[in-house]
Structure 1
Amino acid sequence: MLPWSAEPAGRLDHHVVESDLLRGNPLGDPHERPLVVYVPPGYDDSPGRRSSSVYVLLGYTGHVGMWFNRMPFRQPYPELADAMFAAGDAPPAIVVYVDAWTALGGSQYLDSPATGRYHSYLRDEIVPFVDGRYRTLADRDHRAVTGKSSGGYGAMVTAMLAPDVFGALATHAGDALFEVSHRPRFPALARRLRDMYDGSYDKFLADFRGRLAGTKEGDLELLEMYAYAAAYSDDGIVRLPFDDVGAVVPEVWERWLALDPVVMAGEPRHAEALRSMRAIWVDAGSRDEYHLDFAAVAFRRALEAAGVPGERVHFELFEAGHGGIEYRYPLALAWLSHRLA
């Protein structure tokens, strides 16, 4: 496989969106955000044709420019998606690559007083921006949200929180089942925080921001946990879900669990939202390092308990870990495109 890009059969448009909702956010992050919109082959030649749309969310530390990173012998997702549409393997769809990066590495695509209004930004600004400039089928029954890892989390919660906007979802190794995927990491993080920073996140953040990121052991693990704590905050104060000996802080942990997709799916209004989905794709690698394969199984069971018809759900565990699974995304994209068209 050639190590450089080829001319796409479709077209990638690069935009900058000025967000009123992100202006003045608590982290001081830019309110002007990049947005990449892909239109499939033949879009410009068929002015009367409208297409479904699929919104793609990145995982933790992801920003929209990373979609174009190239690994040896692998193609990035935008090229894989383009090749799929060019081959006629799915009905044409408009693919929207969303940026919701923060100074902490991610937002979980939630409205949080500690990070900013990233759920509302996607729902109320990005979707109307795309519908106003492209020939979309501007209806929830023809619009999906997808993502991997934290992006998969974003896809699950966005579909539950905004079923009037999104009518389908795909989650690849999405964050869920927090008791299994997050809680076991607390003691190791508490120990690292104690041994390297006297138990102080303020000391860690001051050190992290004063040097090149990733140059000390545990940098991203500590920052990631803090980013989640910020995203799940309900009052703007970042509280850790564990104490100095790695034990759970119940009142904080309950807030996290309330935002666990597996738990959310059991609530009547979210269960109703999931039942309204036209299509739900759930997959994960069977040896996921964060045990998100178990999370995928638990979310599928939650869908069943919520009464989502089995024919609307695609579930699969495949041989892989957490990384290097970009080849799975076009499979879900094709499956969703058929059901949204």
Structure 2
Amino acid sequence: MQPWSADLAGRLEEHVVTSELLRGNPLDDPHERPVLVYVPPGYDDEPDRRYPSVYVITGFTGHVGIWRNRMPYRRPFPETADAVFASGEAPPAIVVFVDAWTAHGGSQYVDSPGTGRYHSYICDEIVPWVDGHYRTLDAPGHRAISGKSSGGYGAMITPMLRPDLFGALATHAGDALFEYCYLTEFPKCVRHLRKYDGDIRRWWDDFRSRTSFTKPEDMELLNILGMALCYSAREDGTPDLPFDPVTGVLRPEVWDRWLAWDPVRMVPGHAEAMRSQRAIWIDGGTRDEWYLDIGAQAFHRALLDAGVAEDAIHFELFDAGHGAIDYRYPLALSWLCHRIAP
């Protein structure tokens, strides 16, 4: 295994898409965004053939450039995805790597006055752009979305909200059952904020003034601030924290706004959309530090209770924590491609 590069049997193409929906966004983040599109082996040989598509979205703090990162003794996902198709393990598909990074780490793939219209950006700009530039099968039954952590969260909620576009999904350790994956972080943040007189904006100003992640509180405060911008921002973009930053007492009216975005709680209201899915892959590590294996179980049960056919779901827990589970991605990709192939 070479430590620096490898040849692909298919091809990874780089683009920049201008988004009108992200122009003038609340964080003044770029409205021109990179998009990577992988085309499988043989794409140029059959000019009349159309292909299913799989959209891949990143976790919190992720951007499209992370797909080029190479860990020791492991290949990055574009290469392991290429191997799936080159070996004939799965029917060929177009794989789209989407960027939804924000200055606060991520967008959770929702439309929010705190970050911008990232849900609409994917659904109303990126999908039509891909369909207009590549020979895709333009139908929800042939279009899937996949991601890990916050990307897994986006993969759960996007087909709920837009079943007219997405008919399959894969979620790896996706954010779910918020009382376990987020609530346990709140008291840690209260302790951290003692250094900043309970003002998370003071921490943010400090964070931006120095090298990132050089203080122990950085990741936890960034995560809570980022989620507040996505789930509980006011119309003017100001984020409301779901707890009192000095006493730690929950603010029920704000916490309820977070819970309304919990995929487990969203399923009953989007049961028909979930029943329309051709394939749903759910997995998570049994040692996940944010208890997202429990969230995966709860999401799985919510789907079954909503009437989703058991044979449409692949549910699996495996021995791992939250990190370094990229070896799961090609497994889900292969399974999805078999389900969304024409």
- TM-score, reference length from structure 2: 0.98
Contact 1:286 1:293 in 2 (8 A): yes
Contact 2:287 2:319 in 1 (8 A): yes
Identical positions, percent: 66
Equivalent AA in structure 2 for residue 255 of structure 1: R
For residue 247 of structure 1, report the CA deviation from its aligned partner. Answer: 2.4
Aligned residue for 2:56, secondary structure, equals strand
Alignment map for 1:82-161 (pairs within 5 Å) = 82-161=82-161
Q: Deviations over 1:169-218 (max 9, x none)?
A: 10000001001111111111111111x21111121011111111111111
Runs of 5+ consecutive residues of structure 1 not aligned to the other structure? none
The residue aligned with 1:241 is 242
The residue aligned with 1:265 is 267
The residue aligned with 1:230 is 229
For residue 233 of structure 1, report the CA deviation from its aligned partner. Answer: 2.5
- What is the distance in 1 between the residues matched to 2:95 and 2:66? 16
For residue 338 of structure 1, report the CA deviation from its aligned partner. Answer: 0.5
The residue aligned with 2:220 is 221
- What is the distance in 1 between the residues matched to 2:183 and 2:283? 22
- What is the distance in 1 between the residues matched to 2:77 and 2:264? 27
Q: Deviations over 1:226-281 (max 9, x none)?
A: 000001135232000111222211000000000000000022xx111100100000
The residue aligned with 1:165 is 165
- More displaced stretch, 231-240 vs 300-309: 231-240
- More displaced stretch, 228-237 vs 16-25: 228-237
- What is the distance in 2 between the residues matched to 1:245 and 1:306? 39
Contact 2:232 2:241 in 1 (8 A): no
- More displaced stretch, 25-34 vs 231-240: 231-240
Q: Is 1:176 paired with 2:181?
A: no
The residue aligned with 1:296 is 296
- What is the distance in 1 between the residues matched to 2:42 and 2:248? 56
Equivalent AA in structure 2 for residue 261 of structure 1: P
Q: Is 1:306 paired with 2:306?
A: yes
Contact 2:147 2:155 in 1 (8 A): yes
The residue aligned with 2:78 is 78
- More displaced stretch, 203-212 vs 311-320: 203-212
Alignment map for 1:42-81 (pairs within 5 Å) = 42-81=42-81
Equivalent AA in structure 2 for residue 112 of structure 1: S
- What is the distance in 2 between the residues matched to 1:185 and 1:33? 31
Contact 1:12 1:36 in 2 (8 A): yes
Aligned-residue CA RMSD in angstroms?
0.8
Structure 1 outlier segments of 4+, above 3 Å: none
Aligned residue for 1:266, secondary structure, equals helix
Equivalent AA in structure 2 for residue 199 of structure 1: G
Runs of 5+ consecutive residues of structure 2 not aligned to the other structure? none
The residue aligned with 1:203 is 202
Aligned residue for 2:73, secondary structure, equals coil
Q: Deviations over 1:106-163 (max 9, x none)?
A: 0000000110000000000000000000000011110001100000000001010110
Aligned residue for 1:255, secondary structure, equals helix
- What is the distance in 2 between the residues matched to 1:125 and 1:233? 25
For this pair of structures, how many residues does the alignment match?
338
Aligned residue for 1:281, secondary structure, equals strand
